[in-house]
Chain A
């Protein structure tokens, strides 16, 4: 049983110099057999385990993580949350996640610092204006809050943006989703880990999956660095390494893994109280609670698993940032890193059964998976528990690449790839 976090527990623990806090999740050795195994202890994987235990009462589960939980893309993204996607299927998927975000801190009794500070997407040419207006209308038809702002309204909402019409890519307007925002990414992994652990899920770190054991058309277990573990259901949520796991099972996925970069500046006083994204010039920026500017750059154009990324990509992003925000011209950047993102040809994810019985994949989130973490976990848990997709993720099956029923979200994905 987990002790509840509250202002009273904070005061109580202050008296003992914060040395007696209960451990948030355990460090168990793997059992011989589980009802289900989740491969990948990032936000999506931990959320999947949490909802399997909570909503579907399957508690004999292990989450296998080759490093430490939240050490992959969960700890590497730029924490942006929004649901202003074009197509009905995507709107359903991402807004389902956004609705869970709105009550997540209370549900998990863990402050994920969800902040609905709004996300603005800028238009820099006439085609941008047409596309973004179309997306605004599509969003509103799907019940998602979205408004179109003209240049003056953009300036009013975020005064530090350079709206001069003399710059290379002038701001011609933008869309705003007010319910969108950011959350503390590490806290999401930790909150779900703590919640899942309390429900009986084994979170096993430093345990790398080395092989998927099959008996003909069905899975029977996984080979890991801590030995063989028997199971009838395997949910793979391995992000950039999804193809590596798929190859172990003899499957091929429509994915390419590429480095995506982000960087943060030195901390400064509050200067930007929203998230601003720009597809055309490829720059997006927000400010963390510590005061750092959090800047997202683009993907490299080639397949790589190096978690680094190229300098020219960062240079292009910073060039655009400086034109849009001259106020940042003397800021120093403190850290830069890369994460490996698994990109689908249609820039939409796969949450699906496969042709192998008991093997499920949740992958292809590409450059924008963080925002969907709670919804993705919820729907993937449903898919694993019932061996059938939920109606919200039915369109995101792997067979769409055979049928041709793609969900093209390149316009809404915000990172060109």
Chain B
């Protein structure tokens, strides 16, 4: 349990947010040309890092906007939050 500083609304409890999983997984540009292995990689395979991980979050019970977060999954400490489309800050 932790507090998230939503870039649009400010600090709110984590229970207002929903996690969208690993960030920066890019939707294939040519889906028809993908092999089964590439589909599996895109759809299912995850880094699932113990440590600093890039994630997408949604303020589901607030402004309902998406944003990115850099969080340490071993202690739930948030290192940075940045908007969709922005370059991730170096932490």
Footprint of B on A, CB under 8 Å? 241, 243-244, 247, 252-257, 301-306, 308-312, 342, 345, 401-404
Q: Which residue of B lies closest to A315 (CB)?
A: B15
Contact of A252 with B47 at beta-carbon distance under 8 Å, contacts A303-B19, A310-B15, A311-B1 already known: yes
Q: Which residues of A contact B47 (CB under 8 A)?
A: 243, 247, 252
Q: Which residue of A lies closest to B44 (CB)?
A: A254
* Between-chain CB contacts (< 8 Å), 29 pairs: A241-B50, A243-B48, A243-B49, A244-B50, A247-B47, A247-B49, A252-B47, A253-B46, A254-B40, A254-B46, A255-B46, A255-B48, A256-B21, A256-B46, A257-B73, A302-B14, A302-B55, A303-B19, A303-B73, A306-B74, A306-B75, A312-B1, A312-B15, A342-B48, A345-B44, A401-B44, A401-B45, A402-B37, A404-B36
Are A257's CB and B48's CB within 8 A? yes
Asked if B5 is an interface residue, CB under 8 A from chain A, the answer is no
Contact of A303 with B55 at beta-carbon distance under 8 Å, contacts A241-B50, A310-B1 already known: yes
| Cα-based distance from A404 to B37 in the complex (angstroms) | 10
Are B1's CB and A305's CB within 8 A? no
Q: Which residues of A contact B18 (CB under 8 A)?
A: 301
Q: Which residue of B lies closest to A244 (CB)?
A: B50
| Cα-based distance from A329 to B18 in the complex (angstroms) | 30
Interface code B45-62, partner A: CB below 8 Å = 1, 0 otherwise? 111111001010000000
Contact of A253 with B19 at beta-carbon distance under 8 Å, contacts A241-B50, A312-B1, A401-B40 already known: no
Q: Which residues of A contact B43 (CB under 8 A)?
A: 345, 401
Which listed residue, B37, B45, B50, touches A253 by the CB 8 Å rule?
Answer: B45
Q: Which residue of B lies closest to A301 (CB)?
A: B19
Footprint of A on B, CB under 8 Å? 1, 14-15, 18-19, 21, 36-37, 39-41, 43-50, 53, 55, 73-76
Are A256's CB and B48's CB within 8 A? yes
Q: List 7 A-B pairs, minimum CB-CB distance, nearest first.
A: A302-B19, A243-B48, A254-B44, A310-B1, A312-B15, A252-B45, A402-B40
- Nearest CB of B to A379, in Å: 22
Are B73's CB and A304's CB within 8 A? yes
Which listed residue, B36, B41, B50, B74, touches A403 by the CB 8 Å rule?
Answer: B36
| Cα-based distance from A402 to B47 in the complex (angstroms) | 17
Q: Which residues of B contact A302 (CB under 8 A)?
A: 14, 19, 55
Q: Which residues of A contact B48 (CB under 8 A)?
A: 243, 253, 255-257, 303, 342
Q: Which of B15, B37, B75: most chain A Cβ within 10 A?
A: B15
Are B53's CB and A310's CB within 8 A? no
| Cα-based distance from A342 to B39 in the complex (angstroms) | 21
Q: Which residue of B lies closest to A254 (CB)?
A: B44
| Cα-based distance from A241 to B50 in the complex (angstroms) | 8
- Nearest CB of A to B39, in Å: 8
| Cα-based distance from A386 to B49 in the complex (angstroms) | 32
| Cα-based distance from A409 to B14 in the complex (angstroms) | 28
Q: Which residue of B lies closest to A345 (CB)?
A: B44
Q: Which residues of B contact A252 (CB under 8 A)?
A: 41, 45-47
| Cα-based distance from A402 to B46 in the complex (angstroms) | 14
Q: Which residues of B contact A312 (CB under 8 A)?
A: 1, 15
Known: A243-B47, A256-B21. 13 other contacts (CB 8 A): A243-B46, A247-B47, A247-B49, A253-B48, A254-B46, A257-B50, A303-B19, A303-B21, A303-B73, A306-B73, A310-B1, A402-B39, A404-B36
Q: Which residue of A lies closest to B41 (CB)?
A: A252
- Nearest CB of B to A118, in Å: 35
Q: Which residue of B lies closest to A340 (CB)?
A: B50
Q: Which residues of A contact B21 (CB under 8 A)?
A: 256, 303
Q: Which residues of A contact B76 (CB under 8 A)?
A: 304, 306
| Cα-based distance from A342 to B50 in the complex (angstroms) | 12
Q: Which of B1, B18, B41, B53: most chain A Cβ within 10 A?
A: B1
Q: Which residue of A lies closest to B1 (CB)?
A: A310
Q: Which residues of A contact B40 (CB under 8 A)?
A: 254, 401-402
Q: Which residues of A contact B1 (CB under 8 A)?
A: 308-312
- Nearest CB of B to A270, in Å: 34
